[in-house]
Structure 1
Amino acid sequence: MARTKRLPQDISNTGYTANAGMQRIMNRDGSLNVQRKGLNWWQRNSIYHTMISLSPGRFMLVVFLFYTSTNLLFASIYTLLGIDKLQGIDPVSGFGEKFMQAFFFSSQTLTTVGYGHISPKGMAANIVASLESFIGIMAFAIVTGLFFARFARPRAFLRFSDNLIMSPFKESAAFMLRVISAKNISLTDVQAEVTTAFEVEEHGKKTTRYFQLPLQFSRINSLALSWTVVHIIDDKSPFYGLSLEEIKKSNLEVMINVRAFDEHYSNTVQQRISYKGDEILYGARFLPAFAPSEDGRSTILKVQKLNHHEKLEEAHVAAILEKIKLDQGKNVEVKA
């Protein structure tokens, strides 16, 4: 006789299939873990989206490298034309010093600063300088637009707990994560959607199934303090009737999408995160992250305590899940 868990209805609108495999579906930063093949780099990448999604440090590095390489290119062209085509360069100086002066003349031309100490002489040098100034105008217009797009792009500025935790909850157990708004922004009408993917055995073959996890509260009016997103393991949960060991061995991934309305931008913002099995703590619970101020007039949100938790006896969590497994009743069917 074999006891088989009857799972709730899975979902098929995730964009993935059962044949996608159980490598990580979503990266920790919310980006999809997908590689596109069959196209060259220019065809599969949007330069605009790449530039506005780069980290600030990498963005500044790209701008700096473009600026430096462009000046090196035009300094080399001026050198090939002949240093004598640039009036104001000391003719008795060494090659290295002449090249550096050509480099600085290029930077003045590219930025249209034009100090006047050095100037082009002859048709060829003037054509190159005109072309460089045109490239400079276009490049700085693009860079200015990218700076503005990066600065003005609506962002949620949410911080998620480093770990998803499983903890006893009321008469059952629950998966929990904590989220806070890290900036001085006002987020209202905050909604959370949680999807899980894990392996199940069907007809002797492992396949990936996707489920929408029902939440204790999927929507709150505002994210003024921290929000603990809770999925209770009850008869509506795909984990109902599974032991702790079965959950650990299911190659679990939990994906969270939080969407809110930013009152300052008057726009909807969202942020995503994913947790894999090794990022889930079993037998733990979060500790409070806020407390009243000393004068009692306000509430202090201690952002540094976002991840503070305490460990519980894992045996206690296992005992609760075993009780759920024994109590699942009609959700277990017996097969010969």
Structure 2
Amino acid sequence: MSLLRKINAKATADANTGFGTNPGSYGGRFINKDGTSNISKRGMPFFNRISWYHTMISMPRWKFMAILFSFYILVNFVFACIYYLIGVEYLDGIETTGSELVKFGKAYFFSAQTFTTVGYGHISPNGFLTSSLAAAEALVGLLSFAIATGLFFGRFSKPIAHLRFSHHALIAPYRGGKALMLRLTPFKNTNFSEAVAKITLGMSVEENGTPTNKFYSLKLELDKINALTLSWTLVHPITEESPLFGFRKEDFDATEGELLVYIKTFDDMFSTDVVARTSYTFNEIVYGAKFDMMYTENEANTKTILHLDRLNSFQKVEI
């Protein structure tokens, strides 16, 4: 029996995490470093596959702004084309003697004024068809800006756990043995309380000659704290009950695995619970290291200084 199979035999008694098992190599990762899910869903009906509201709320800021500007330009272009096809002579205030490109440009800017309901007044629709189109565009503009305002509010008001995790997890000396350690800290002027931490270990093991994915809930020395104002180092003592008991550096290098980290805490600013997630693959675990202290006192010994730039700082040690 291999080392991994011996370890799993000790750890599986109370390790039903609900993930189930899956024959084959572990491969990839379930959670990205930024906390987003690295999952692609299949078999969902087409119209339920993408929630446009959740997509717009969660996408990066630059992409969100790019979509808004692109939508604004495209809608005005479409309406400008329709105005141009109807005839610019039905738009009072536009000279019909210029080039076709100039005429289209003036129709485009009239569309932008109608879409935003600015209406400077030097160009106005003339005729039933053009007036109806302008009225429809004004309605589309009002609805579009109402939706955009809701999206802006949703993005700015969405509670976010402003927590940062260390780039690496460490296997460090601990009370005469070893422990798995990783660190996190708040990085905004927010007050967190009632913080709860959970770590799930997933790795590929061999059972009866077949690679199988296994998941284990790792017991932490301290999984809940009343206030999270400084750095917090999560410590999993590697005892005989741990699925990592007996692991050496070469075992981490030869095994496919991932640590799924989950943090829930209460944010006083939003007056609600917020959640942060991250993961560490086995190649992001440093064997034989310990974290450097992140906080010090000022010269007058009246205030604690938290050095955020030391979050990932560690030094190698012998185990």
User: For the superposition of Structure 1 and Structure 2, which TM-score range results when normalised by the shorter chain?
Assistant: over 0.9
Matched with 1:8 is 11
RMSD: 1.8
Matches within 5 A, 1:146-165: 146-165=151-170
Instruction: Give the gaps of 5 or more residues in structure 2.
Output: none
SS of the residue corresponding to residue 10 of structure 2 reads: coil
Task: Write the deviation string for residues 121-152 of structure 1: whole angstroms up to 9, x where unpaired.
Answer: 11111111111111111111111111111111
- 1:153-172 Cα offsets, whole Å, 9 max, x none, are 11111111111122222211
Q: Which amino acid aligns with 1:62?
A: I
Structure 1 unaligned spans of 5+: 318-336
Runs of 4+ in 1 over 3 A off after TM superposition: 1-5, 10-17, 38-42
- Asked if structure 1 preserves the Cα contact closer than 8 Å seen for 2:24 and 2:211, the reply is no
The aligned residue for residue 182 of structure 2 is 177
Quick one: distance in 1 between partners of 2:171 and 2:70?
47
Instruction: Tell me the matched-pair count.
Output: 314
DSSP 3-state at the match of 1:210: strand
- Following the alignment from structure 1 to structure 2, what is the Cα–Cα distance between the partners of residues 290 and 153? 30
Map residues 26-175 of structure 1 onto 2, 5 A cutoff.
26-39=31-44, 41-175=46-180
Relative to 1, partners in 2 of residues 1:40 and 1:67: Cα closer, same or farther, differing over 3 Å? farther
Instruction: Say whether the 8 Å CA contact 2:23–2:210 is kept in structure 1.
Output: no
1:17 paired residue number: 21
Change over 3 Å in CA distance of 1:146–1:124 after alignment to 2: same
- Please give the residue correspondences for 1:122-271 in structure 2 after superposition, counting only pairs within 5 Å: 122-271=127-276
What do residues 184-224 of structure 1 show as CA deviations (whole Å, max 9, x unaligned)?
Answer: 11100001000010111111111111000111111111111
Instruction: State how far apart, in whole Å, the 1-side matches of 2:184 and 2:236 are.
Output: 14
One-letter amino acid of the counterpart of residue 227, structure 1: W
Residue by residue over 1:3-34, the C-alpha shift from the partner in whole angstroms, topping out at 9 and shown as x without a partner, is 73333125344445324751211222222222
Work out whether residues 239 and 247 of structure 1, in 8 Å CA contact, stay in contact via their aligned partners in 2: no
TM normalised by structure 1 equals 0.88
Equivalent-residue separation in structure 1 for 2:57 and 2:78 (angstroms): 26
Kindly state the Cα deviation for residue 2 of structure 1 after the two structures are TM-superposed: 7.2
Q: Deviation digits for residues 62-81 of structure 1, max 9, x if unmatched?
A: 11111111111111111111
User: How far apart, CA to CA, are the structure 1 residues paired with 2:66 and 2:165?
Assistant: 28
Instruction: Give the match's secondary structure for 1:29.
Output: coil
Percent identity over the alignment is: 39
CA deviations 1:41-79 (Å, max 9, x no partner) are 532111111111111111111111111111111111111
| Distance change (3 Å), C-alpha of 1:311 and 1:100 | farther
1:293 to 276, 298, 309: 298
Shift of 1:276: 1.1
Q: 1:102 to 1:271 in 2, by over 3 A?
A: same
The 3 A distance-change label for structure 1 pair 290 and 2 is closer
Change (3 A) 1:171 1:191: same
**SS at structure 1 position matched to 2:22:** coil
TM-score normalised by L of structure 2: 0.93
The code of the aligned residue for 2:118 comes to V
Amino acid at match of 1:251: E
Q: Distance in 1 between matches of 2:54 and 2:104?
A: 36
